[in-house]
Amino acid sequence: MEWRIVVTRSVPEPALDLLREVGEVHVCEQERPLRTSELHEAVRGAHAIVTMVHDRIDGAVADAAGSRLQVVANVAVGYDNVDVDALAQRGVTVTNTPGVLVDATADLTLGLLLMLTRRLGEGERLLRSETPWSWHMSFMLGTGLQGKTLGIVGLGRIGQAVAHRARAFGMEIAYTGRSRADPDVAAALGARYLPLEQLLDEADAVSLHCPLTEATRHLVDEKVLERMKPSAVLINTSRGPVVDEQALARALGRRSIAGAALDVFEHEPKVEPDLLDLDNVVVVPHLGSATTETRTAMAVLAARNVVGMLDGTGPSTPVSA
């Protein structure tokens, strides 16, 4: 049987080469998220679908594909864009790509933290605008990281990698989450577990590394922002809807917190307009995994998951319903 494999957007060639070894590969040509009708049309007759984080994959998509559909391979760690239960009811396996983007996302998180605390974005904008300036002792002062407390929300693989890097900058580590980390892991990172409220009271920087679920949607809201120190900053490289962007814009505007850096957005690719008018905000366009090595590894892992399903050896990283 010739397997039909649909890829909803272009991915690195090494992944496509793997897929072509087992079936007919159709790559959607649009360099934008597919509209619902386009997605339904594209997946008809597919045995496997390779999807991106912006694709909403639900029971209707599976029904459009038809009874031959066996696997949906999401090229992302998070899979909040996929209705796993609906697909499981139809006998479709969902996979994701954990592990391969840990370092890239952790690196970006520390980069965003430095951009905030050392005012790097402000400094570049100053020069690009050709605003007159001169060096003096109080010019564009930021804050150092040494001795400051980094509060990590979600000490999973990426949270741990961020903690490891932050320790190299001399930061103290506190964390919170649904459960406590393995004691050996926490000890190696010097990480203290704190309830969220206490973490907000103590942290000089709060970094979000939790999945998007109904429990974490708008986890960072008006109350959380009011609880943070006025001198603290917020970094989000997890999922946009974890933060209420309108509440964040209000808090930043009245300086309830010192700053925020966002790689992901609540209504991506749209950004809350009020955030863009503020100097104490750093925004980048979902670059957490954006290295050649990482994006290739993500796509290749997704392809291997597809191959494993179609050849009967099984996927490497299935998602549990």
DSSP-based three-state secondary structure for 264: coil
Q: Residues with catalytic annotation?
A: 239, 268, 286
Phi first, then psi: what are they for 133, rounded to 5°? -155, 160
CA 234, CA 258: separation in Å to the nearest integer?
8
State the Cα angle at 157 between 55 and 77, rounded to 5°: 10
Structure tokens at 53: 């984080």
CA 168, CA 163: separation in Å to the nearest integer?
9
Structure tokens at 165: 């890097």
Query: What is the DSSP annotation of 164-223?
Result: HHHHHTT-EEEEE-SSPPPHHHHHHHTEEE--HHHHHHH-SEEEE-----TTTTT-B-HH
**CA-wise closest residue to 287 among 50, 74, 107:** 107
